[in-house]
């Protein structure tokens, strides 16, 4: 199993550009999450999904959109990139049947908005 | 709003020293998790504590959950350069009685162990 994979690893965007961060997991997990990590700020939840077709906002959803058409994929869309969206983005998934709810994280996408 | 505060934010020590990282909240958590993150990678779960007063050991790492389930600590004995990384505590984010696996993270402790 590859686990959780994310692409791209690094991207530079100009203000106002759009992009999609890809996330795929091959563990058949229903629950998936997008976090952003800023220096010294821990991780903050952007959006999450409990299954295909079901998504909901997290703590910091403004400026982002998500979709979940399959169990495996959970892309994150930035429509109008702003410097405040410069961050490292992590996708994660859990097996909702697991009692301890271990979150499995991808390697992250580093985004720089100039 | 549930908040988790970690201290210290930075820790720079010599190989062989002992250290403790704290994770505190004014809220009660049903469980707390500790993750370790290395540069360029995602966090990896170290341990989950679920019972007040619980102590778990993972080789040289000892994790404790406070009796009131509002705090936790991570103690490393005889630190090694391989322990260098970002240590994060996290607890379930409750909304309407269920967390859906969502986590609230502390801001992290950056540990550097010098040879």
Grade residue B93 by pLDDT with cuts at 50, 70 and 90.
Answer: confident
- Residues near A74 by Cβ (< 8 Å), separated by ≥ 6? A23, A24, A25, A32, A34, A49, A66, A67, A68, A91, A93
Tell me how long chain B is: 115
Per-run averaged pLDDT (10 residues), chain A, 114 residues: 92 97 96 92 92 94 96 96 97 87 93 96
Please tell me the predicted confidence (pLDDT) of residue A2.
81
- pLDDT > 70: what percent of chain B? 96
CB atoms closer than 10 angstroms to residue A61: 16
**B107, A94: Cβ pair inside 8 Å?**
no
Q: Where are the domains of chain A?
A: 4-113
Question: Which residues of chain B does A100 touch, with a Cβ-Cβ cutoff of 8 Å?
Answer: 31, 33, 48, 50
Report yes or no: B58 at the A interface, CB cutoff 8 Å: no
- Give me the pLDDT at residue A53, please: 93
Q: Structure tokens of A75?
A: 């892309």
CATH number, span A4-113: 2.60.40.10
> In chain B, what residues touch A107 (CB-CB under 8 Å)?
40-42
pLDDT tens per residue across span B19-70? 999 999 999 999 999 999 998 899 999 999 999 999 999 999 999 999 999 9
Q: Do B103 and A102 touch (CB under 8 A)?
A: no
Radius of gyration of chain A (CA): 13
For chain A, counts of helices (H) and of strands (E): 0, 11
For B66-77, write each residue's pLDDT tens digit: 999 999 999 999
- The reported pLDDT for the residue numbered B66 is 95
CATH 3.40.50.2300 assigned to domain B5-114? The reply is no
How is chain B split into domains, by residue range? 5-114
The secondary structure element, H or E, covering residue A43 is: strand A43-51
SS3 state of residue B78: coil
Cα distances (Å, whole numbers) of residue B32 to A27, A43, A114, B103: 24, 15, 37, 9
């Amino acid at each position: 199993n590859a686990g959780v994979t994310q692409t791209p690893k690094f991207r530079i965007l100009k203000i106002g550009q759009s992009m999609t961060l890809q996330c795929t997991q091959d563990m058949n997990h229903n629950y998936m999450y997008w976090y952003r990590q800023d220096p010294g700020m821990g991780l903050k939840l952007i959006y999450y999904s409990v299954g295909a077709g079901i998504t909901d906002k997290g703590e910091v959803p403004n400026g982002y959109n998500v979709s979940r058409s399959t169990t495996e994929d959970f892309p994150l869309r930035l429509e109008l990139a702003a410097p405040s969206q410069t961050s490292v983005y992590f996708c994660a998934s859990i097996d909702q049947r697991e009692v301890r709810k271990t979150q499995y994280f991808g390697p992250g996408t580093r985004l720089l908005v100039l | 709003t549930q908040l988790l505060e970690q201290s210290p934010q930075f820790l720079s020590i010599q190989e062989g020293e002992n250290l403790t990282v704290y994770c505190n909240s004014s809220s009660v958590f049903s469980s707390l998790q500790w993750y370790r993150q290395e540069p360029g990678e995602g966090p990896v779960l170290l341990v989950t504590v679920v019972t007040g007063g619980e102590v778990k050991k993972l080789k040289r790492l000892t994790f404790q959950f406070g009796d009131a389930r509002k705090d936790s600590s991570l103690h490393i004995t005889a630190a090694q350069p391989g322990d260098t990384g970002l240590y994060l505590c996290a607890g379930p984010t409750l909304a309407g009685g269920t967390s859906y696996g969502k986590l609230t993270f502390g801001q992290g402790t950056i540990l550097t162990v010098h040879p």
